[in-house]
Amino acid sequence: MLTNSNIKLLVLAGGFGTRLSTIVADVPKPLARIGEVPFLGLQLENWVGQEIKSFIFLLHHKANLIVDFVQSLQSNLLKECELEFLIEDEPMGTGGAIANAVAQLGLMGDFLVVNADTWLDGGINDLINAKAPSMAVVQTGNTERYGSVEIDEDWCVTSFKEKNVSVGASWINAGLYCLNSAQFEHAPSDSFSLEEICLPELAARKALKAVPLRVNFIDIGVPDDYYRMNRWVKANRMMKL
């Protein structure tokens, strides 16, 4: 039986962070400072607080900086955690990175996947209980930046609307998933996108469950939201994101 303490959390942290590079150029996006702390430090504190004990970091861009930072926490925050790092020679995309981890590490059964640059106060328990394949969704007032997720009355994902096409209040992909190794058995060996290839295929078969979360959500990938995250932390997380 999978629990928070034995399920593996795959952390997608290999991107180039180009949209944030105008203000955070010296480190990869997960290490962008929020106040005095790298964003990934806040994330790890949050995930450990939800009783996650096993982490696999999927890396490419400036991977050594992320490895060094995570290992610096092994004597305190992560002292009871199992840590693994997979560094891609070439960027493999979100889907390719997961497929590579499944193949290289021999992953079997269900596991969690999370975007390193997306903050969610909670949701780990919800995804574990939902089982694979499922994805967290949150509501937002304007979906233009993210694209929207179409959901039926049984909380099955039916389709995705692209960014800039989807405008108005709706559900969006929150960047947290429960997936199964079997879904990647026949995956291509080169770069591909989880969001553009795998998830739409699952939705077309009505095989993907949406798990609604009512928690604080923010993607720090653009300057405005990076600054908003800083303001939230400076205000001791008392306001709503």
Do residues 66 and 59 touch, judged by C-beta distance below 8 A? yes
In a domain, 1, yes or no: no
In a domain, 240, yes or no: no
Distant-in-sequence, close-in-space partners of 61: CB < 8 Å, separation ≥ 6: 14, 15, 16, 17, 28, 91
In a domain, 241, yes or no: no
Do residues 60 and 87 touch, judged by C-beta distance below 8 A? yes
In a domain, 142, yes or no: yes
Strand positions, DSSP E, 88-169? 110-115, 118-120, 134-140, 148-151, 157-161
In a domain, 239, yes or no: no
Distant-in-sequence, close-in-space partners of 132: CB < 8 Å, separation ≥ 6: 110, 178, 179, 180, 183
User: Which CATH number does the domain housing residue 163 bear?
Assistant: 3.90.550.10
Count: domains in the chain: 1
How far is Cα 192 from Cα 186, in angstroms, rounded to an integer? 13
Cis peptide before 200 (omega within 30 of 0): no
In a domain, 139, yes or no: yes
Return the residue matching tokens 């925050």: 77
CA dihedral 135, 136, 142, 143 (to 10 degrees): -10
Range of the domain at 169: 8-234
In a domain, 180, yes or no: yes
Ordered per-residue pLDDT tens for the chain, 241 residues: 667 778 999 999 998 767 887 787 789 999 999 988 999 999 999 999 999 999 999 999 999 999 999 999 999 999 999 999 999 999 999 999 999 999 999 999 999 999 999 999 999 999 999 989 999 999 988 778 888 999 999 999 999 987 766 667 889 999 999 999 999 988 888 899 999 999 999 999 999 999 999 999 999 988 999 999 999 999 877 666 5
Q: Residue 212 carries which side chain, given as an amino acid letter?
A: P
